[in-house]
Each structure stands twice: as C-alpha cells, then as structure tokens.
Amino acid sequence: MAPRGGQTGSMQPELSAGEWAVLGAVAEGPTHGFAVAQLLSPDGELGRIWTLPRPVVYQVVKKLLERDLIRARRTEASPKGPARTVLGISPAGRAALRRWLAEPVDHVRDVRSLLLLKLALLDRAGADPAHLLESQGERVRAQLDALAQARDEATGFDRVILEWRLAGSRATLDFLSVVAV
C-alpha cells in the first residue's frame, strides 16, 4: 500500500496531508496543540492551504505521539483552561518530514494542496524550495509527454479528459516556472 499524502515508492510513514501539516507545524519549534490548531484554522497561515478542525488536530497529535514522530517535552500552565503539553518533533519525525518535503507530488491534482503545503512549510522554515520545484517540474514534464501521447491515440470523451489533464499540467509547469524564480 502506498503512503498517503501523494507519495509512492518511498519508505515514508503513512500520513495524510493533515498529519504532515501538523508534523510540519510542530517541527517549527516547541508548540502545543492549540497553537497548531490556530495555524491550521481557516484563517491561519497554513489553514489557507490545508484546514483541520481543532478536535482533529488533537487526534493527529495523539497519533503522531504514538508513532514517536513528535514528543511531549513538558507541561506548562495556561492562562485559559487546562495545562498545555508542549510538543517537539522527534528525530524520526524530523527525518521523515525532511524526506517528505523533498519529494514532488505524484499528481497535478495534488499541486493545489500538497505541493503548496510543502512550499509553505519550507518557506516558514527558511529553506530553499529549488530542489523540490525542479523535481516537481521534471515529474510533470514526464507526465505531460505521456498524456500527449495518450491524447493523440484517444477519441471521444477520453480525448476531452486528456486535453483537460494536459491543460492542467501545462498550467502547473507555468506556475512552477514563476515560483522558481
């Protein structure tokens, strides 16, 4: 079974995009679930790309703790409500996140969500996205060639679908060339 989150053929943990988003948020430095939930709320910085309701963030935190991708560092008092558990990324979580952030997404349809999430996390970490953008361009160009060949052999509605996919792939390449500058 291929890992979720738009990746195949790697030894990545099987995480959803939302789980990667939470892991990436925790990787930014010591934090707690409420702060991560704010970041992933619809008006949060990462929520503009990927939104998770607060209860789901806490479920993801629990899962990432169980898988030793993040660790509870300490508990601190909160001015509002119960004490907060301060979270940090584990070495295994950091290594997995680093690999995931370097891998291009498999499908053009995942550019809007997964690739933008990766680019946002890289930007927030002050990391250079050049390698990811180059790899993504190579992957899309390879898919573009295969789509063009399939389109040339297709008829009827199959040809319409392939034209749509070609247009999306070309637009993705245009996008990648603009953000790579």
The residues, ordered by sequence, that sit 6+ positions from 84 with a Cβ below 8 Å of its Cβ are 32, 33, 34, 75, 76, 77, 78
- pTM here is 0.87
How far lies 162's CA from each of 12, 155, 172, in Å? 31, 10, 15
Q: For position 83, what pLDDT does the model report?
A: 86
- In this predicted structure, what is the pLDDT of residue 11? 63
Asked if 89 and 23 touch (Cβ cutoff 8 Å), the reply is yes
1-103 folds as: Arc Repressor Mutant, subunit A (1.10.10)
* pLDDT score, position 81: 79
Res 152: pLDDT: 95
The amino acid at 12: Q
Residue 13: per-residue pLDDT: 77
Q: What is the mean pLDDT of each run of 10 residues along the chain (181 residues)?
A: 42 87 97 96 95 96 97 89 92 97 94 95 96 96 94 96 96 93 71
Domain coordinates in residue numbering, the chain: 1-103
The per-residue DSSP string of 68-116 comes to TSEEEEEEE--SSSS-EEEEEE-HHHHHHHHHHHHSPPSSGGGIIIIIH
Q: Sign of torsion, CA 61 34 47 129?
A: negative
